Amino acid sequence: MLALDKMNKKYLFLLIASISFLPINAQNFGGGLVLGLSSSQVNGDDLGGFNKAGILMGIFTNKLIYSSINFQIEMNFIMKGSDNKNMTKIEHKDYNRPDISLSYIEIPLLLQYQQNNLLDIEGGILFGYLINGYYNDLNGKLNSDINPFIKYDIGLLVGLTYKYSEKICFNTRISNSIIPIGQEDYEETSSYVASKKGKYNSVLSLSIKYNI
């Protein structure tokens, strides 16, 4: 997992500074902080499994727009990528395939349906901006003059929120890219057709939300 000091400092400052702009005093508005973990994979890198652990942190604001429906916007820092669990197993067919490490500033736009007093169901679209992305192997980051990943990630997400108390909620969600984040890594000629589809982020996350 990437260390926090590898995150671009200006984006971290922007994320923290934005807390002061949450419109929590306006009528029907709410807002707060998000802190959690992500577990991800990259479809198209010829590896499988949600093996890449990362950090999720950010802020959110929401507004009741109709009866039991909220509109919520977030700004998060999130780590994504893939992890080759077989990298040290020389006898395994995937031992020489590198990991992928990605860090994004991400803005999800959500509609949340208040199922009852304890549970919300949510769905929406996310827009991500890549601030750091590279391959790495047992020796660390693989340097390249060509960035193998595009700067933007657009995806869809669904999730559930459990309201533990007035201030604290637990959220789980799954998201998936709907446009490629890079070219596919398949090497076998039998995968020629699939290789034209590109790479896509898939992420499971679990977070705590604190309402200010």
Residue 106, pLDDT score: 96
pLDDT mean across residues, the chain: 83
- Per-residue pLDDT tens digits for 127-174: 999 999 999 887 778 876 667 899 999 999 999 999 999 999 999 999
Residue 198 — pLDDT band, cuts 50, 70, 90? confident
Residue 194 — pLDDT band, cuts 50, 70, 90? very low
Share of the chain above pLDDT 90, in %: 58
pLDDT higher for 15 or 37?
Answer: 37
**Bridge partner residues of 8 (DSSP):** none
Residue 20 — pLDDT band, cuts 50, 70, 90? very low
Residue 155, pLDDT score: 97
pLDDT higher for 90 or 137?
Answer: 137
Closest CA to 87 of 78, 75, 77, 96: 96
| DSSP symbols for the chain | ---GGGS-HHHHHHHHHGGGG--TTSTTEEEEEEEEEEEEEEETSS--SS-EEEEEEEEEEEEEEETTEEEEEEEEEEEEEE--TTTT-TTSTTTTPPEEEEEEEEEEEEEEEE-SSSEEEEEEEEEEEEEEEEEEETTEE---SS--B-SEEEEEEEEEEEE-SSSEEEEEEEEEESS-SB-----SGGGHHHHTS-BEEEEEEEEEEEE-
Q: What CATH class has 4-211?
A: mainly beta
Tell me the domain boundaries of the chain: 4-211
